[in-house]
């Protein structure tokens, strides 16, 4: 059994118990790893971290997806991650997230910020929990996870966060699996 999966699943259950019950109903007693989406292919990068191809499209760097995510966050924050200025952006919205490198990098750079993760297909979210450590995200005090819901459910959360206070991340490769939703 994958220890990353077990730890991530435990954190998910502790942080979002009702959502856990809704999306993990098909997982045997909450311990069986989920099936990866059939079009996903997992490979090791040069850095040793896993990366994902979804229907042949690479979702993350083939070299170092963690560093790629850190650089993307630094660019979004104008190089202010960890400097106190990062809190100027109160929320980060992730429209799709692949394996989760980008939300994890944001959570590390802005530990007091709000994370809003949007993934219409719970199978994609559960598959991501098997690949990387989601502790920075799942232990974030202000984390909103919207999975398995319709677009109309997402809008009130974005409005509450204040659209002008949000940094949006929408990577086409990570939203292509459900383009009409995004």
User: DSSP letters of 82-125?
Assistant: TSSGGGGS-EEEEE--TTSHHHHHHHHH-TTSEEEEEES-HHHH
Average pLDDT over residues 12-20: 95
The rounded mean pLDDT for the chain is 89
Q: How far is CA 95 from CA 28, 60, 115, 121, 135, in A?
A: 29, 15, 11, 12, 19
Listed in sequence order, the residues at least 6 apart from 78 whose beta carbon sits closer than 8 Å to its beta carbon are 85
Query: In this predicted model, what pLDDT tens digit does every residue of 139-163 receive, in sequence order?
Result: 999 999 999 999 999 999 888 888 8
pTM of the model: 0.89
Query: In this predicted model, what pLDDT tens digit does every residue of 53-106 receive, in sequence order?
Result: 999 999 999 999 999 999 999 999 886 555 444 445 579 999 999 999 999 999
Asked whether the predicted pLDDT for residue 29 surpasses 70, the reply is no
Asked whether the predicted pLDDT for residue 128 surpasses 80, the reply is yes
Measure the CA–CA gap between 157 and 147, rounded to whole angstroms: 13
């Amino acid at each position: 059994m994958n220890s990353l999966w077990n730890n991530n699943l435990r954190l998910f259950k502790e942080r979002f118990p009702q959502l856990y019950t809704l999306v993990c109903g098909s997982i045997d007693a909450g311990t069986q790893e989920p099936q990866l989406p059939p079009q996903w292919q997992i490979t090791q990068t040069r850095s040793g971290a896993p990366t994902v191809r979804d229907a042949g499209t690479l979702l993350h760097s083939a070299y170092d997806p963690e560093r790629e995510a850190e650089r993307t966050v630094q660019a979004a924050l104008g190089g202010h991650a960890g400097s106190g200025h990062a809190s100027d952006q109160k929320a980060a919205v992730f429209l799709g997230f692949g394996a989760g490198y980008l939300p994890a990098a944001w959570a590390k750079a802005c530990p007091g910020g709000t994370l809003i993760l949007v993934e219409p297909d719970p199978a994609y979210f559960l598959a991501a929990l098997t690949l990387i450590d989601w502790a920075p995200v799942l232990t974030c005090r202000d984390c909103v996870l919207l999975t398995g819901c319709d677009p109309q459910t997402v809008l009130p959360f974005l409005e509450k966060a204040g659209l002008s206070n949000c940094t949006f991340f929408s990577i086409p490769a990570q939203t292509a699996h459900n383009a009409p939703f995004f």
